[in-house]
Amino acid sequence: MAEKKAKNDRSLRFYNEVLGLERLHYGLWNPEDEFSITGVKKAQKRYEQHLIDQIPAGSKSILDVGCGTGIMSRNLIDMGYDVEGLSPDINQKEIFTQQNRTRFHFCRFEDFEPDNQYDCVIMSESAQYIPVNMLFRVAGKAIKENKYLLVCDYFLSNSASGPLAKSGHNLDQFMAEAGKRGFKIIYDEDITDKVVRTLDLGKNIADRILLAINIGTEKIRQKYAFLTRFILWMFRKKINSVQEDMRLLDSEEFKKNKIYKLMLFQLNAVDNRG
Ligand SMILES: C[S@@+](CC[C@H](N)C(=O)[O-])C[C@H]1O[C@@H](n2cnc3c(N)ncnc32)[C@H](O)[C@@H]1O
């Protein structure tokens, strides 16, 4: 894979290496879940299981697109599926290949040239990274006729604006492209209300980290007030971007701009493979 296309996603590394999360997606929360890292791990496991439950009966071969650490792939292999993983991220390649003996495709999905066709292609929070037209074009080549594409991700509403509108596909455009390429929706679930607690927890952790930095630097800031003002001015762009990032963790803002969906598509036609 061309070096410049290889990714090293630091925010995903933060979730994995600092917070100790094996799964890199939102969680599906129940009201009684503990509001903590333990709680989010449980909710993420429930999310993964819910996704696996939607794999149509009779499926055998699976491509896990944007497979992250490979934990879902490992669970699917243990359940008897033939699984291959795909990710353009160099760290995930290492983790995945250490844990799984199965085939791994080190590339972006939009560059993937399948030499195999699968019963089910799964995109667990990875569809948002792939340009919509390429997603359905490549999926059309990778999926057997009448077989399935399972997508779980957030999408933008038509009125989305501001920092939250920077990630995610527009839902209407996504569905239009699916239809154009012969993908028919056969299961559609809105899980927004069940996933947003993941953001509330992320915000709570970020607030506590910022508070700790504030307390830790209090003496220095008092002693060197002028220098502090100068440093804050020097790093004003970075500080603004941190403030913007904090808005990304606001669950009410999320609900105003986005919808989190679990969708199963069936590829009906073969005349869409151009
Ligand atoms: C939010 S993580 C989800 C990881 C995993 N599927 C999970 O549910 O825990 C997004 C994944 O998509 C991968 N990704 C990013 N850009 C991609 C692309 N263009 N094609 C395929 N995967 C991509 C990332 O490397 C990462 O594995």
Residue spans of the domains in the chain: they are 3-195+258-267, 197-248
Does residue 125 have its Cβ closer than 6 Å to ligand 1?
yes
Q: Comparing 36-45, 111-120, 189-198, 242-251, which segment has the lowest mean pLDDT? A: 242-251
Distance 123 CA to ligand 1 centre (A): 8
- pLDDT at 21 (0 to 100): 78
Alpha carbons within 13 A on the beta-carbon side of 191: 27
| Predicted TM-score (pTM) of this structure | 0.85
| Cα–ligand 1 centroid distance for 112 (angstroms) | 14
Hey, whose CA ends up nearest to atom 14 of ligand 1? 66
Give the mutation target among 8, 129, 138, 153 for probing the ligand 1 site: most ligand atoms within 8 A of CB: 129
- Look at residue 106 and tell me whether its pLDDT is greater than 50: yes
Distance 117 CA to ligand 1 centre (A): 20
What mean pLDDT is reported for the chain?
Answer: 87
The topology (CATH level 3) of 3-195+258-267 is Rossmann fold (3.40.50)
Q: What are 145-203's pLDDT values in tens digits?
A: 999 999 999 999 999 988 888 899 999 999 999 999 999 999 999 999 999 998 888 88
Dump pLDDT digits (tens) for 36-54. Answer: 888 989 999 999 999 999 9
What pLDDT does residue 3 have? 45
- Average pLDDT (57-81) is 95
Q: What amino acid is encoded at 193 in this protein? A: D
Q: What is the mean pLDDT of residues 94-101?
A: 87
How many percent of the chain have pLDDT more than 90?
Answer: 59
50-59, 66-75, 79-88, 223-232: range with lowest mean pLDDT: 223-232
Of ligand 1's atoms, which has the minimum distance to the CA of residue 68?
A: 27
pLDDT of residue 172: 98
